Amino acid sequence: MINQEEENKELGRRYRALLRVSKTVDKKEDKIKIRKAFDVAIEAHKDMRRKSGEPYVYHPIEVARIVSEEIGLGTTSIVCALLHDTVEDTEMTLDDIERMFGLKERKIIDGLTKISGVVDHSVSMQAENFRKILLTLSDDVRVILIKLADRLHNMRTLDAMRRDKQLKIASETIFLYAPLAHRLGLYALKTELEDLSLKYTDPEIYTEITNKLQKSKAVRTRFVNQFSLPIKNELKEQGFNFSVKARTKSVYSIYNKIKTKNVKYEEIYDVFAIRVILDTPPEKEKSICWNTYSIVTDFYQPNPDRLRDWVSTPKGNGYESLHTTVMSPGGKWVEVQIRSKRMDEIAEKGYAAHWKYKEGSEESKFDNWIDKIRELLENPDLNAVDFIDDFKLNLFSEEIFIFTPTGEIKNLPKGASALDFAFEIHTEVGYHCMGAKVNHKLVPLSTGLNSGDQVEIITSKKQKPNESWLEYVISGKAKSKIKSALKENKRRLAKEGKLGFEKWLKKHKINNTDHNIKQLLSFFRLPSLYEMHYQFEVGKLKLNKIAELKIEGGLILRKETEHKPKDDFIEQLKKKGTKEEMLVIGENMDHFEYKISPCCNPIPGDEVFGFITIKEGIKIHKTNCPNAVQLMSNYAYRVVKARWTSQQQIAFLAGIKITGIDDVGLVNNVTRVISEELNVNMRSISFDSQDGVFEGIVMLYVHDTKHLRHLKAKLKLIKGVINVSRIDG
């Protein structure tokens, strides 16, 4: 039963809370505008409910709150956030918005409406739709900021969704929205989006890390207080205005480190960092940050390899800070971040904070980034998935700074080559790049660059891009330009090949008809006439094989082909359900033929999904497979539900990694426990010992995850074994 009175009270509370956090709203007319938008939203959504059962209007109110409190935007954005779903979901039109609020609001809501049809909860966002989102970015960045707030609130309330939808939305969030928040400098938003995504894609690991962080919280707090005491005293002594806080590494960052560095939680030394925030006028920021650095290093020994100076050269997303890692009295490395209040606000709130400080150089950095996106968007040759891949290259990349011969600085992604740099200067310079001089030394195109290198590009009019260039570059701009040039070149060759091919047909008395062309395409196994013309021109067609064809009166006679089954993919795959089947697939949970994907080797008990491949039928992946995020984000329409049913005594291949202290008979003990005590069959076993430490990889057959957990627990009890973990692939 809906309690209208209670809901009205709740709306009043939420309205007051919104005004309370809207620090930028102080004029009376702004408050009137927000109240009007609030009332319009309530009226427009009055009959709508969310999946959780609460009134739908709570959602736009919460989005407005995130926009104001967590991103720091002003009245226009708050109004647009309150109304962001009205044109999409209710009777209201853009004309109504313009009449009631103004042209600026109309444009932003138009941008949001264009993309909200694209990104609804039920379907995951495909690459083509993401391109549309970015088109609106170049009009008004507030569209994207409100969209990010909308996504954050959806992620916070994802519990009410079905499991398969949770997975699709979480994958899409980690694949695109989190990198976008990162690139816009919204650190706090990016972190929460990543953590919430992990909560749904890998709930077990998320809970495990969260619990460990919770348990060690008191110890951390004590350590931070002791560690920062001498620094605080000295800063006070010198008359600085400052605050010190501890920043704990996010759950997702810890998970990433465990995965990429292959370490245990206990081995991660930078679970937290100490942040010193100085209240100082902009003109003194740099000197005061370095002054603080010298105070920190007076008390604690720094690691010279771990100094990061983003105060002198800020990151491309505007991040400024001085990072150093020092040794604490307890023998632990601790990261100390030193920054001004302005830098801290920009690091947390990104470009919304930049506007507040209105510094020309920062504005232009952001404009440069948007210009790069625009350039990618305007490349008509890139298909949408290529576009996403190239775009993501520019999103998450760490940066290096390269100098031109005249001393100008260019930002490039870490790992960029001399060829990337050539394209960064100008597309034409890239196309005709022959080599480069790095720090006055001649080097090949593929040479990787380091921060601080000075690079001069050598060009030649005769030089043209070729396929191998794609292996030398990592920046989105260079990749997309090279692909364009290669396509253009292929078009030209195919055009020339067409004339030659038609002459060849005449010579062999073959009529140029649709029937004959189809026969030749099938004979040479080619997808299109365009491809045939191109391969003819570059000499790849095996023309002497023509003798195998039967030609009468200019007509190629059809070969008897095998009868192909119906094209309906699902019908081909469907087979009679048998009792031995362990996996059910699709909305109706039917039995289909499937293959286990080798990239993650799922076994019964793992949470899985099916992916319809083009040539190999349905492949089963774990939901936390390294490739899952990309598959669910780019090809959601090919993802099908799957789950294990009754566990039969069928064995599945799984891999485990064992590390420990080398001991006489240790390998013998490991194999004895596996084969004798637990009756598990091994497919392969390899052990490697170095300086008293051994590492073993065992591939064995288990029934399900429970069976595997039991096996791991038994192996951990063996004397000398330190860690046992499951490996994918």
Q: Of 89, 128, 270, 375, which residue is the catalytic one?
A: 89
Q: Which two tokens stand for residue 725?
A: 């973990």
Q: Distance between CA atoms of 518 and 514, rounded to whole angstroms?
A: 6
CB 622 within 8 A of CB 607: yes
Amino acid type, 553? G
Torsional class of 427: left (φ above 0), alpha (ψ -120 to 50), beta (otherwise): alpha
Q: Other CB atoms closer than 10 Å to residue 452's CB: what's the count? A: 12
Q: Other CB atoms closer than 10 Å to residue 96's CB: what's the count? A: 17
Who contacts 478 (Cβ-Cβ below 8 Å, separation ≥6)? 419, 420, 422, 423, 424, 430
Pairing outcome for strands 399-403 and 594-596? unpaired
Nearest to 31 by CA among 19, 14, 20, 40: 19
CB 125 within 8 A of CB 633: yes
Q: What does DSSP assign to residue 267?
A: G
Nearest to 510 by CA among 548, 550, 473, 537: 550
Q: Other CB atoms closer than 10 Å to residue 50's CB: what's the count? A: 16
Q: Helix, strand or coil for residue 503?
A: helix
Q: Other CB atoms closer than 10 Å to residue 441's CB: what's the count? A: 8
Nearest to 44 by CA among 101, 86, 103: 86
Q: Of 7, 54, 69, 88, which residue is the catalytic one?
A: 88
Q: What is the biggest distance separating any 2 CA atoms in the chain, rounded to whole angstroms? A: 102
CB 65 within 8 A of CB 18: yes
Q: Other CB atoms closer than 10 Å to residue 709's CB: what's the count? A: 13
Amino acid type, 100? M
Nearest to 581 by CA among 508, 634, 650: 650
Does the annotation count 590 as an active-site position?
Answer: no
3-state secondary structure 459-482: ECCCCCCCCCHHHHCCCHHHHHHH
Q: Distance between CA atoms of 648 and 563, rounded to whole angstroms?
A: 36
Q: Which string of DSSP letters, residue by residue, matches 297-336?
A: HHHSEE-GGG-EETTTS--TT----EEEEEE-TTS-EEEE
Q: Which string of DSSP letters, residue by residue, matches 21-38?
A: H-TT--SHHHHHHHHHHH
Say how many CA atoms lie within 13 Å of 149 toward its Cβ.
31
Pairing outcome for strands 639-644 and 583-585? antiparallel
CB 172 within 8 A of CB 632: yes
Who contacts 629 (Cβ-Cβ below 8 Å, separation ≥6)? 171, 174, 175, 201
Q: Distance between CA atoms of 20 and 32, rounded to whole angstroms?
A: 15
Amino acid type, 205? I
CB 345 within 8 A of CB 285: no
Q: Distance between CA atoms of 704 and 64, rounded to whole angstroms?
A: 46
Does the annotation count 159 as an active-site position?
Answer: no
Active site positions, annotated:
88-89
